Structure 1
Amino acid sequence: MPPYWPVLRDRVFARVLPGLALSALGDGMSAVAIGWLAVQYAPHHQRGLWVGLAVAAYTLPGAVGAIVLGPLLRGRGGAHLVGLDAALRAVFLGAVPLLACLDALTIGRYAALLAGSALLSAWGSAGRYTLIAQVLPADLHLPANALLTLITEAATVAGPVLAGLLIAWLGAPAVLAVDAATFAVLAVCFAAVRARAPLVRRDQRSAGLATIRRNRELLGLTVLSCWFFLLFGPIPVAVPVFASSAQDVGLLYTSFGVGAVIGAIATGHLPRLPLWPVTIGSVIAFGLLLTPLGLGLPRWADLLALALAGLAWAPYPSTSVALFQRAVPAERLPPVLAARGAVLVVSTPLGTLMGAPLVQAAGAATTLVACGIATAVLGAVALVVRVRAPMLRASCN
């Protein structure tokens, strides 16, 4: 607890953390419901395709929003960006159960509403981490990042279990109704502190992608993250097909969440972690630990493999963002993190779209094995590049 205490004592974070935790729980529940609802409404012979489209629709439009809405949002403070994203999600996600109650929900309308809810997702994510850089000193960035990861991953422990129970009782649309309500609470929480957070000065706005291109380390990190999330993309498609029921999907996601929670706690307690080695090591370990999931092992072994994969995954969000926070001044972070988010928002849905026909053709188990091996290879390549880069610079000099 000691590394988190200074973060929790900050007045801004004390106001928004309850909303972040509640919203994370709602999203943890939706991780099950989004794919499962697509399975229910899609034609039977196209289930894999529509699950992929639904998962992609919940993230991909964020890249469009990051680019198209950039001129309007670059001057906003971190809290304002989160509040706008949360309000939009509350409206569009709330429309899904409403249409379901009216018996007017179709798979096409469902995908369209998911897409609308995700339009500001890159800016909302940028806002969270920008707020950290705006209100906390540099030595608290990694613990604060880890705290956000901890909240998110803890929700994947309880959220899928609650989702399984709620789906069995009231159906999948009820889960999205709960998620919409939690986003409404989050919007109110951030609206209450918006004026207290330092805003970006208009004379210091910068193009995010240009900043990343000019910094070799940030460019390399963005490329690594792009491929990492691309290879992760097929997993949300494979898991619902790999599982035998909504409750089984919940158990698989919960196992991953348990490992990720432990990893996030450990990350926050190690504020002096070497950021680059841990970031690359997380990619390699995640790939190696994901591979056994598709080898036909007993279900308990699948759950253990996912728990260990979650443990390996947990440091990556915190350390990769900390590298950006360390390299870019706080007043310039929103467009830079939004640009990073736009790249990643494209990567995961693109991987998901690629995963849909892959799952359809090769099966869920084969897809999981292929993603695990490819991710481990990606990490190994990043390690070689990272080790050789200083040698090449020295030889040039």
Structure 2
Amino acid sequence: MTSAMLFPYRPVLGQPVLRRLLPGLATSALGDGLALVAVTWLALQLAPAGQRGTWTAFAVAAYTLPGAAGTLLLGRWLGGRSGAQLAGWDATVRAAALGAIPVAHLAGVLDVGLYVALLAVSSLLHPWGSAGRFTLVAELLPQRHHLAANALLGVFGQAATIVGPPLAGLLIAWAGAVWVIAMDAVSFAVLAVSYRLVAPAVRRGSAVRSEGARRAGAVRHRAGNQHEGGDRHETPTAGPSRTSGFRIIGRDRSLLGLLALTFGFFFLFGPFYVAMPIFVTDDLHASAATLAAYYTAFGVGSLLGGLLTGHLRGRPLRATLAGVVSLFGAALLPLGLGAPVVLSLPAFALAGLVWAPYQPTATALFQRRAGTVDLPRVLSANGAVTVLAVPLGTMLGGPATAAFGARRTLLACAVAILALGLTAAVSAARPGAGPRATGPRKGPGPHDEPGRVKAPDRVRPGAP
């Protein structure tokens, strides 16, 4: 990797707490890459004959969907926690629940029902863990470095989707799927220990920032008293809000538009998981190796796109998101139009390239718009919507493919994604007033200068 490619990431790599976390994050990402294959393979092995498809679907859903329920049910207890706490607790729960799977196997009690139940427990805090990870970025780095940090965290996952599945195939053949799940559990245990080790440093940094903010507020308060010529009692700083992340987003048109764009984008991509395999077998009359080549091309493109995301710093975030969605839809058109593999395969790699910046950029916009007190709730709500959007779209893909065929389903999704991106671009470019968030930003930003009020990000009502 060249020095120019690394340039936006140097401040992130130079942050002491993040630098100490990176090995644990990389290990956990590799574990998730292994789980892409191991979770479904073990479900196939445990399921009764004739019910393999049903239980495999249950296993995949259990590894993701319960997190949406965790967002709604646990917000009262988790909403006011620090980023390191949330991410550490998620890693601990995942390590314990996934680690119970090989233990149950050794005890001879592991069946498919218990397996799915343990997968569901493992995913319960996942949106909170993701929210905690990116809240920690906002707590530790100034705003101008958020996008690069978000992108760097995403690069681990993108690299794991390339390395993890073939490695999982080799390990499953050698030791069995249950022990690959055990490796995933160990990777989360390493991550949980990593968060535990850095937590004291994060708390000290937060205490210093809070004291600085308190002193700056006292100075401003005294200056206001002197200016107004009266005596006023200092108002204590408000504690953590109990408002849910969805309510916070609902009060800010900018974040509400972003949430709608994210849901639409991920929902419209969901049918590809059903239509693509059928398209390869029925329309192209090709083998599983061809399908693997498409996914590998997408993964390589997304890895390169993740590395390039840090260089988008300084560009308007909303325009970037609209451009990503539009280009992604355009890159999928060759598949829907029935282009030969020699053309559609590079186009799918291009789709991966433009897909990669979406999540880091959207997260940077959430980090910019929400104060650090509300950020965990807001990001967890966004994570719950993301977790639901793709499976709902995948469920739509079954009847759509049966009714219209795989190629036409792919074409319809590509056109719909392109239209969504163009609509978002028009909305982002529309002249209008500034943001209309009804709630105040709670607490100073992690690197706001004492005594200064930061200029709001220029957004427009209704812009995604």
Please indicate the TM-score interval, normalised by the length of the shorter structure: 0.7 to 0.9
Q: Does 1:215 align with 2:261?
A: no
Structure 1 residue 27: Cα displacement? 1.0
1:386–1:82 distance in 2 versus 1, CA, 3 Å: same
Structure-2 separation of matches of 1:107 and 1:369 = 37
Q: TM-score, normalised by structure 2?
A: 0.75
Q: 1:151 aligns with which of 151, 156, 160?
A: 156
Which aligned pairs between 1:161-200 and structure 2 lie closer than 5 A? 161-198=166-203
Structure 1 residue 196: Cα displacement? 2.1
Q: Does 1:350 align with 2:392?
A: yes
Which aligned pairs between 1:57-96 and structure 2 lie closer than 5 A? 57-96=62-101
**Deviation sequence 1:258-302 (CA, Å, 0-9, x none):** 111111111112311221111011112222323444666666655
Between Structure 1 and Structure 2, the one with more helix by share is 1
Structure 1 residue 9: Cα displacement? 1.0
Q: Does 1:280 align with 2:347?
A: no
Structure 1 residue 104: Cα displacement? 4.8
Q: Does 1:334 align with 2:376?
A: yes
Identity %: 51
- Stretches of structure 2 lacking an aligned partner (at least 5 in a row): 1-5, 211-236, 436-459
1:78–1:240 distance in 2 versus 1, CA, 3 Å: farther
State the match for 1:260 in structure 2: 302
State the match for 1:14 in structure 2: 19
- Stretches of structure 1 lacking an aligned partner (at least 5 in a row): none
Give, as a single letter, the amino acid of the residue that structure 2 aligns with 1:66.
Answer: T
Structure-1 separation of matches of 2:408 and 2:370 = 40
Structure 1 residue 360: Cα displacement? 6.8
Structure 1 residue 86: Cα displacement? 0.8
1:99–1:288 distance in 2 versus 1, CA, 3 Å: farther
1:39–1:249 distance in 2 versus 1, CA, 3 Å: farther
SS of equivalent to 1:269: helix
Structure-2 separation of matches of 1:32 and 1:125 = 22
Structure-1 separation of matches of 2:181 and 2:403 = 30
Q: 2:133 aligns with which of 107, 128, 133?
A: 128
SS of equivalent to 1:204: coil
Please identify, of 98-107 and 323-332, the stretch whose mean Cα deviation from structure 2 is larger: 98-107
Structure-1 separation of matches of 2:107 and 2:272 = 32
The root-mean-square deviation of aligned C-alpha atoms, in Å, is 3.2
**Deviation sequence 1:77-122 (CA, Å, 0-9, x none):** 1011111111111122233344456665444433322211110011
Q: 1:140 aligns with which of 139, 142, 145?
A: 145
Q: 1:230 aligns with which of 256, 267, 278?
A: 267
1:62–1:148 distance in 2 versus 1, CA, 3 Å: same
1:252–1:91 distance in 2 versus 1, CA, 3 Å: farther
Q: Does 1:53 align with 2:58?
A: yes
- Given that 1:206 and 1:332 are in contact with CA atoms closer than 8 Å, whether structure 2 keeps it comes out as no
Structure-2 separation of matches of 1:165 and 1:360 = 34
SS of equivalent to 1:331: coil
- Given that 2:66 and 2:120 are in contact with CA atoms closer than 8 Å, whether structure 1 keeps it comes out as yes
Aligned length: 394
Give, as a single letter, the amino acid of the residue that structure 2 aligns with 1:18.
Answer: P
Structure-1 separation of matches of 2:328 and 2:380 = 25
- Given that 1:149 and 1:318 are in contact with CA atoms closer than 8 Å, whether structure 2 keeps it comes out as yes
**Deviation sequence 1:153-183 (CA, Å, 0-9, x none):** 1211211221232233334333322211111
- Given that 2:336 and 2:414 are in contact with CA atoms closer than 8 Å, whether structure 1 keeps it comes out as no
1:383–1:270 distance in 2 versus 1, CA, 3 Å: closer
1:361–1:180 distance in 2 versus 1, CA, 3 Å: farther
Structure 1 residue 124: Cα displacement? 0.4
- Structure with more relative contact order (C-alpha pairs < 8 Å, separation 6 or more): 1
